A = this chain, B = another copy of it.
């Protein structure tokens, strides 16, 4: 086995890690209780503020994004608390399950994969849930390739109900702008390995003053994911437990790149490439999975034409073109594919994806109008 062969990762994470970010990991190991690590931690914290557009210090946990989301749950939800949550795919369901593990009672507002629940339906659920403790949402549902278009508006709904507002933006923040202070998001969570293009293993969380006050005065229910303890230690330039120092080095470099590029430019870049990839699906004669109005800028989900075997298709892409795209999940396994377009994505990456997919469809007997493909790439939307 050629292990691990460098392939173009067009998947919903981990995403391509630029050399400057990857190489940052091999800096010298340091004591995590030292001025040197405090310097690193403060730098990463400061740069994360630009990502979340917040004046508060974001927290960084050594865990996957899911761990970060679970931390938010255990620090906000207490037994018997009512939580409203729109659900349109796997990650929404997972979040609801974690809320219930923590003792919360979920009010689920469901919609089909590929769609999102309407704002009105979510608003209605909030209104009909007296004493609602929190509204939790998955901003970008990678299983269906959809993005909630009303994250800002829902903040006001939650605030009017006196509820905390928590946004899982693991696969979107950086590809989208979510100004958490301005919009009133109490906790926003993302992961290092999506739109930030750093290796996986760190979760980043913004915490509003309101949420911080609540967490500090409420007895913790967990230790490793106790955000109050994280805040106390961060105030002294430390983490409560040994952090993944090497991943902090990489995240620091990844955030430097974000700041050099500018968040607005990065968001624009994600939108640009997503539109090209959706046009590409059209040029291939394929249907997108997501409703056009709510389709994601970071994950482009399409439905296979009849006769194309998912496993053969993706294996051919990987082995003959060094290109990795994602499979469908749940009911859509074998029926859908998902192209991640996050972090270090460029026109070159999109073009390479287009040609590899075109060649592979042709090879497998599904005819592609190469002229149409070329037109899309020549004049990206």
Residue in B1, B7, B26 whose beta carbon sits within 8 Å of that of A39 in the complex: B1
How many copies of this kind of chain does the complex include? 2
12 contacts between A and B (CB under 8 A): A4-B249, A11-B31, A14-B32, A14-B242, A64-B242, A101-B220, A101-B222, A101-B223, A191-B242, A199-B246, A201-B247, A247-B247
Within 8 A of B (CB), among A283-315: none
Other 5 A-B pairs with CB < 8 A, given A25-B26, A29-B199? A15-B29, A23-B26, A33-B326, A200-B245, A246-B246
Is A70 engaged at the interface, CB distance under 8 Å to the other chain? Answer: yes
Q: Name A's B-contacting residues (CB within 8 A).
A: 1, 3-7, 9, 11, 13-17, 22-23, 25-37, 39-40, 62-67, 70, 94, 97-98, 101, 191, 193, 199-201, 220-225, 241-247, 249-250, 318, 324, 326-327
* A223 in contact with B40 given A5-B28, A23-B26, A199-B245 (CB within 8 Å): no
Residue in B4, B32, B199 whose beta carbon sits within 8 Å of that of A244 in the complex: B199
Q: Which residue of B lies closest to A243 (CB)?
A: B200
Docked pose: A88 CA to B70 CA in angstroms: 32
Residues of B contacting A243 in the complex (Cβ-Cβ under 8 angstroms)? 64, 200-201
- On whether the beta carbons of B29 and A224 are closer than 8 Å, the reply is no
- On whether the beta carbons of A16 and B29 are closer than 8 Å, the reply is yes
Residues of B contacting A22 in the complex (Cβ-Cβ under 8 angstroms)? 25-26, 29, 246
Among A37, A224, A245, the one with the most B-chain Cβ atoms within 10 Å of its Cβ is A224
Residues of B contacting A23 in the complex (Cβ-Cβ under 8 angstroms)? 26
Residues of B contacting A3 in the complex (Cβ-Cβ under 8 angstroms)? 36, 39-40
Docked pose: A27 CA to B324 CA in angstroms: 17
Residue in B98, B246, B324 whose beta carbon sits within 8 Å of that of A201 in the complex: B246
- On whether the beta carbons of B221 and A101 are closer than 8 Å, the reply is yes
Residue in B13, B224, B318 whose beta carbon sits within 8 Å of that of A242 in the complex: B13
Residues of B contacting A63 in the complex (Cβ-Cβ under 8 angstroms)? 62-63, 67, 224
- On whether the beta carbons of A28 and B7 are closer than 8 Å, the reply is yes
- Give the distance to chain B from A18, nearest Cβ to Cβ, in Å: 10
Docked pose: A26 CA to B135 CA in angstroms: 39
* A244 in contact with B247 given A30-B7, A32-B14 (CB within 8 Å): yes
